[in-house]
Amino acid sequence: MAGKARRRPYFGADMTDPAPLASIAADLSGGRTSGLRFLDDRGTLAIVLDVTGLAADDRKPLEDRLRAGLLEQPGVREVRVAMTAEKKTMTIIAVGSGKGGVGKSTLAANLAVALRRIGVKVGLVDADIYGPSQPRLMASEDVKPEARGSKLAPVPNAYGVPMLSTGQIAQPGQAIAWRGPMAGKALEQLVDASWGDIDTLVVDLPPGTGDVQLTMIQKHKPAGAVIVSTPQDLALMDATRAINLFQQADVPIIGLVENMAGYACPHCGEVSDPFGSGGAEAAAKVMGLDFLGRVPLAMAIRLASDGGVPPAAGTDPAGEPFHAIAAKVAEWLDARKGK
């Protein structure tokens, strides 16, 4: 005899085949496991669990479920779980404008809600330190985000678009004192928050083209930018400065939105064009940019917005322009993914 026969594990040769256990682990974890193997013949199992995109609070319960489920299998005595997570890079869509009051925040909120309705896992960041308005637009005023570990937990809302706003982390009236580094830090907290499975962020930027905006754009490089302007704004070329800001930072312009374009009659909904129409579209063409659509000046939009109900969330016709714009932005995102 050539020495002692190697001791076989009591569960038999078939249980050293990890394939059936691997498929059980995949079922238990929603396909997040890999690298399952036995470390010894005493039933010590090692497995890698990918927790990318999961909120910190959801990781431990998943690990526990996985371990408990595997321990129920014959021959498994111990389960060593190694958690890994890819550092997630968010796709950031910046919404910018040459100046305030053109409906940038209104567009950002409705774009996010409309993208959500077509299945994009989207969150909203209100980076407008000078006049944060997303808490009002998304009916989340007075809600303070909680900390989840070392990160902020975005505030949920009825529209399925978790949100974080400078307005929620600053005291009212303090915002104006935020200069350069402080503003950069604040935005960092908002972008690098505990976003869970959100992969796309719509960021409502401060209006204009100051240093704060530039720092933000360079630090959290957006995938693309949507520029909002009114017909008058375009005539004054304010929008051009915003466009230059992004182009300097190598951020592609997704396209131009003309807001408050024409007047929608509150009675019949018909849009009249006191300033004529097609100007923004023509201007976009001259600048070599895509035109994403026009949103009429409509009482319904202002009332719904002030009331914390983004028009894109309902079935009101006032939401339609936003859905059309979101469809174009989604198309742009898909084309980018395909590259």
Q: How far is CA 144 from CA 15, 170, 309, 320, in A?
A: 51, 10, 19, 31
CA distance 152 to 174: 20
Q: What angle do CA 203, 208, 211 make, to 5 degrees?
A: 85
Query: Least distance in Å: CB of 97 to ligand ADP?
Result: 5
CA distance 273 to 294: 12
**x-or-dash string of contact with Mg ion, 158-177, rule CB under 5 A:** --------------------
- The residues, any chain, with a CB within 8 Å of residue 103's CB and separated by 6 or more, are 228, 230, 259, 260, 295
Should residue 230 be labelled a site residue for Mg ion when binding is judged by CB under 5 A? no
Structure tokens at 96: 């910018």
For ligand ADP, the closer of residues 127 and 298 by Cβ is: 298
Query: Least distance in Å: CB of 224 to ligand ADP?
Result: 19
**x-or-dash string of contact with Mg ion, 132-161, rule CB under 5 A:** -x----------------------------
In the list 29, 91, 97, 105, the residue contacting Mg ion (rule: CB under 5 A) is 105
For Mg ion, the closer of residues 97 and 194 by Cβ is: 97
Query: Least distance in Å: CB of 105 to Mg ion?
Result: 3
Q: Please give the residue ranges that form the binding site for ligand ADP (CB under 6 A).
A: 97, 100-106, 133, 207, 259-260, 295, 297-298, 301-302, 305-306
Query: Least distance in Å: CB of 202 to ligand ADP?
Result: 13
Among ligand ADP, Mg ion, none, what binds residue 298 when CB lies within 5 to 8 Å by partner kind?
A: ligand ADP
For ligand ADP, the closer of residues 62 and 183 by Cβ is: 183
103 annotated among ligand-binding-site residues: yes
150 annotated among ligand-binding-site residues: no
For ligand ADP, the closer of residues 53 and 100 by Cβ is: 100
Query: Least distance in Å: CB of 130 to Mg ion?
Result: 8
Query: How many other C-beta atoms lie within 10 A of the C-beta of residue 336?
Result: 13
Among ligand ADP, Mg ion, none, what binds residue 146 when CB lies within 5 to 8 Å by partner kind?
A: none
For Mg ion, the closer of residues 43 and 167 by Cβ is: 167
Among ligand ADP, Mg ion, none, what binds residue 110 when CB lies within 5 to 8 Å by partner kind?
A: none
CA distance 65 to 187: 35
For Mg ion, the closer of residues 63 and 128 by Cβ is: 128
272 annotated among ligand-binding-site residues: no
Query: How many other C-beta atoms lie within 10 A of the C-beta of residue 186?
Result: 19
4 annotated among ligand-binding-site residues: no
CB 177 within 8 A of CB 186: no
285 annotated among ligand-binding-site residues: no
Query: Least distance in Å: CB of 303 to ligand ADP?
Result: 8
102 annotated among ligand-binding-site residues: yes
- The residues, any chain, with a CB within 8 Å of residue 62's CB and separated by 6 or more, are 29, 32, 49, 51, 54
For Mg ion, the closer of residues 128 and 238 by Cβ is: 128
Query: Least distance in Å: CB of 147 to Mg ion?
Result: 26
100 annotated among ligand-binding-site residues: yes
104 annotated among ligand-binding-site residues: yes
Residues of the binding site: 98-105
Task: By CB under 5 A, name the binding residues for Mg ion.
Answer: 105, 128, 133
